[in-house]
Structure 1
Amino acid sequence: MNYTLFQPFTIGRKLLFLLLFCSLNFYAQYNKSGYTDIAKQRLLVHITSDYLHTISQGQIDKDSAVRASCRLYNLSILIPNNESYSNGTSIPAIKLLEEDKVNQAKNLLPKLKGENRFLMLLELSNYFIFKSGAQKTDLDKAEKYLEEILQQKKWDKWKIGALMLKANLLNQRGNTDASQKLYAEIEKHCKQSENNLDLARALLEAGKTLQYGNPKRLVYFQKALSIFQNLKEKEKEIETLSQINIEYFIARRYDDSQKLIYKILQLQKEIKYYHNQYAFDVLSYLSYRKGDLVKALYYSNKSIESMHSKEDSIFKGLFFLRRGQLYQHNGKSQEALFWYTKASENKTRETKLYWYKAFLSKAWVFNKLHRSNEALTLLKKTESEFPPVTDFEKMHFAFILGETYASLKKMDLAEKNYSIFQNIAKNYPLQYVHDEFPAAFFQIASFYQNIGKTYKARQLLKNGISHTFEIGVAEKSEYYYNLFKIDSVEKKYNDAIKNLLLSQKYKDSSFNEEQKKKFAELLIKYETDKKDKNIKLLNTQNQLQLVQSRETEREKNILLVGALLLIVIVCLLLYSYIIKQKNNRKLKANQLELDQKNSFLENLNDEQQKLLKEKEWLIKEVHHRVKNNLQMVTSLLNSQSAYLKDSDAKMAVKDSLRRMQAVSMIHQKLYHDDNISTIAMPQYIDELVHYLHESFDNENQITFKKNIQAINLHVSQAIPLGLIITESVVNAIKYAFLEKQNGIIEISLFQEDNDSIVLKISDNGIGLPAFTNKNDTNSLGINLIKGLTKQLKGSFSIENNNGVHIIIKFIYLNT
């Protein structure tokens, strides 16, 4: 009977993933994979998750296994499924997603533009598609993000990645046919564009989405493998070979599986990939199935030796379990108990996957050693602390409990628990059934044979071999031995002799004298190596003790010197304290003096602020009085012009009035504004032009266009500029347009660079007379403009081109 070699199992998808996440997240601080190359990081995640998914016999869904593997080595949860569009680089929003801060990441999406937005949409889809389970709400979110990408034709380079994500989404929804159809379209598109790398990736993913055992899986994988080999993509070649190996394992093609693992190990060595413990553990299991316990022990040693870090050793309970099983089948029950105990150390709910099987195996060995009361105590205590949760746990716990009651001769309780096992087992998915089922059925058959129910026993043997295409050598021996005992009870002696011979044949082939000798030699070698290491350790410890003794003597001397130094330091500190107190008294006196000076300065500052406010009020008052005086002069000139008979004299007076008004408006604004030194030019020019426009009775045939930047000029520049605008606009109104002619006057003021201001005044009138020299004009207006320009320290130019264009450029006094 070989119950203990059934594959390790799990406790249900969602619960186990939560437990795995909690236990693995404890280690998460930085990349702990040992690889900086993202291709190797992806390979590590895929191989680890495949192992975890396989040993759990389907109880952990693949997505949960992938995320648990990422957490174990603290790698991004996005990298296993984004290689068609990402090289592993990240942006802040994606980093939040990698840390499971999905709401914060989604809040950043509206702020992203261009490629960053589309990359974020892909990663959000990736996140929700490959979450544990296949919740409709998650898949709906993923589909919404994908549709935004697929609707944008200009982002063709994201198309393959988006389509592959959508194919996975369809598969997660259970629509396998639509998923496969989309993968066929992707394959066609990649062939047309000669994109062989994405073609191979698509073929690999298309195979992964199919159920284990589907013949199309191998077809996809073989095609992908050929392309990866041609492209020398060895990491992807290893990943694909691992998927092919799973198919061989499911189909019971154990010889092919063993050959493939040797090839995988060789490729891993070539690329310096050193996480080989999973491959060696599978080789150990396959060697056992073939009855070669020597090789099984060899590969068990290799799997334990391949654990390089704390992260790798999280699965050590599974590898220790394998070692215990091999000791047990070598007849070394005490050694087996030792390894089962090591495998079930640190029992917690979070690590239940790794120790629960070892606990059951330990109870099994207790029964074989006729220590059934200890087995029962262990089972009851563990059931109280960690009750079985899933069907897998319940049925195997019931089986071991039934074995224990049978050993204690409590046949009713044994049969009751055996019935629990059988009722659950008959509905268990066959694709997750391994050697533990035949082994259990054979043992229960032995129980019924012993109580005389041979028909029931024979039926259970038949059930045991129906669950698998091929049972191992040890199971064959157990099967035929049970048939021998049943045939003997039923007096079918010929059949009994035949079955006994077959049982002995398989037993001898699985563990003959030669194998026992080699097994013992290997154990001796292993133990010798272990002792040599312990001797080296002891020598090292002796040397360490000698060094420690010398260090102790040295520490005493140092302590004496230290005591003397301490006394000196205390004296220095005391002296320093006295000096410090003296200095503090001086500082207090200085502080008092400073406080008095600060008080005086504050009073002085208050007086200055008061004087400053008075100064500002006086300046405003000056502006107000200047404005009033200008208005008084303006009124006098208006009154005087009424008595003038000469039209030229009247015109001269009115021109003077307009100039004075331009200056008066500036003083008016300075009086009303809080700023008493600068003028906001857009408002000032707008008011000035409005005044000039109204001062002429031109029946609105002239239109003004203004383009004034938001510039503040010091009053020293604003007054000359206002007078220049006044002269230019008045001249244009008076002389540029014929009677009743419509016209346009444009005024522009803008900052040309950090230092220069440009004023342009243009009209579309008749222009200067033909005989006029624009560089030699003697009119008062032009001379006045030139003089004002000099006051601004600027340059003046006038153009005659479909009208007059005056350009003033001067230095900006930035106040």
Structure 2
Amino acid sequence: MITKTPSSIVVLLSFLSCFILNIYSQNSSNTPIDSLLIKLSSEKNQEKKLEILNDLVDLAFQSDLNLAKRYARKGVQLAEQSQHKIWQPKFYEMQGRMHANLLELDSASINFDKALKGFTEIDDKKGQATTYFKIGWVHKRQGNIEAALKVDLKALKLMESIDDKLGIAGAYNRISEDLTKQGRLEEAYEYALKTITLCKEQNFNEELAYAYTAAGDTQIAMGNSEASFGYFDEALNLAKSLNFSIFDIINFSNNRANALKRMGKYDEAKAAYETALSTAQDVNYGNAIYVITANLGEINLLLGDYEAALKYQLQTVATQESQGDVSNLTENYHHLSTIYEKLENYPLALEFQKKALVMRDSTAKIESDKTMSALMTQFETEKKDQTINAQNTQIAQQRKTQILYIAIATIFALGLLGMFFSFKNIRKKREALQTLNEALDAKNRQNELLLKEIHHRVKNNLEMVKGLIALQSAHLEDSATKDAMIASQNRVQSMGIIHQKLYQGTNLGAIEMKDYFLNLGDGILDSFDAENRVQIECIMEQLELDVDTAVPIGLIVNELLTNAIKYAFPNTENGKISIQLEQKANDILHLKVSDNGVGKVLGGAAKGTGFGSQLIQLLTQQLDGIMQESNEKGTSVSFQFKHQKAA
């Protein structure tokens, strides 16, 4: 059942209309997307709007990941506003998939966790399984193959429980990939062949392309280069015939080039890599860009072009280290060591050789875990044998002492009778206490529900205020007044998100700030139409704060983000804004908001009305804090607040 909140939906529809017109003007040549945007702008039914946004995500995913991410985010917002339990996890999964393909792994994990929670609440087993697949993909990028195999096996169980043949084939493919990465190649190849057979029997042609890929991966790991080329070539040709997305075509092309490289056809492989890299860069496919860059580094090493190899390998390692992606990092360290050795730079060759050894030892934990598992099995078996022998000895001893136990039991019988009546009285008291506790629990649940409803209504009222400001600002022509109205909208929004997190979360007394900052940043970027030129990153661990602290900090961050987007990047320059919030010793909170923009001109005239700066100072005083500002390489504003931990 969908709960409607009229005031919130009116505001959202107004916001979506502006968004749609903007996207329409930017994509006038994309007829299918244009048609859907026009249909979306005139559609009144919420269910159909969500369906149209889903179609927009699918279309944009074929060529523009960032555009697809924006449509997915709009789907999340509309599904949350309308409390649509079916569509909420679907759009979280879509948004996570876009983040993952752009190698934004932390954001991908957050969205996949929300999707899994939503699918579990509505008992959507297929949704849970497909989300597990994507969580496993992130684990593999982070080098945690054991965790990836664990979630892929969970997905297989779910698909088998609903007898989803296509889902089962997908699970087989992923398990084959996991086993290949663990070096269990025979098992991996068996799973790949099972997938190929199942796909051919059921006419699952799209999944068959991935099954060929899994078989090719195992064959290339076994050293059967020509066999792997055959599988990869089948996968690429099938994908082209079925009009797969450009991202899949890039992946399949890279796999085929890998086989050519292993076959010793270096020039042909290099040409294929360069074509794939150019295409990946055209569509901003981050995941493929660094993988193909690594392959170009290796192929140039094999061709003896060490300077070109060095350039590609350094780019690859830098990307992997910055993203926390340890897949194939040991191999890439080895390549860098070899390249530096060929260039006679022996200190750096030794440094990267050491890094490769450290990484190898850390990833070798899987084999160590296998050995430990075998030892534990042997230990448990021996322990059970010892327990059986001890039990036999104990039985013999019990027979000798049985008479003594009977005598002792008789002596205690009368005592137990008296204890029975005592326990009976205690039981009555416990039952009365349990009844009282149940009544208190019911009262607590009622109070919690009422408090959530209060937060929900406050959030809706703030949305209404925001909508009224938006409607008023639409009739203003003075740019300064209009900017002030937009700033007021963002301040109301920052408080509204606080109350939304409170009624949606499990802890009514605290806010998780990282997720809050991500939502706040997205909203501000939307309000200034700056999503394509400004990136907001949240460099912090998860941290919960009480409401009295979270609200002023949220308003401070709102003002700083607004100022940075308005003034730090003139002439539509691209930029980056970083938010850091951490709990230090002695209950001190450290907040830092920085950008890489133009910074403030010393002695220059202040921009804007100055109200935002006054508000920041007042809120800093309210929190008994200290503010410091630096204008080196952009603008950086730091705060220190005294803080009492949230209950």
**TM-score normalised by the chain length of structure 2:** 0.42
Relative contact order, higher structure (CA 8 A, sep 6+): 1
- Structure with higher helix content: 2
**TM-score normalised by the chain length of structure 1:** 0.34
CA radius of gyration, larger in: 1
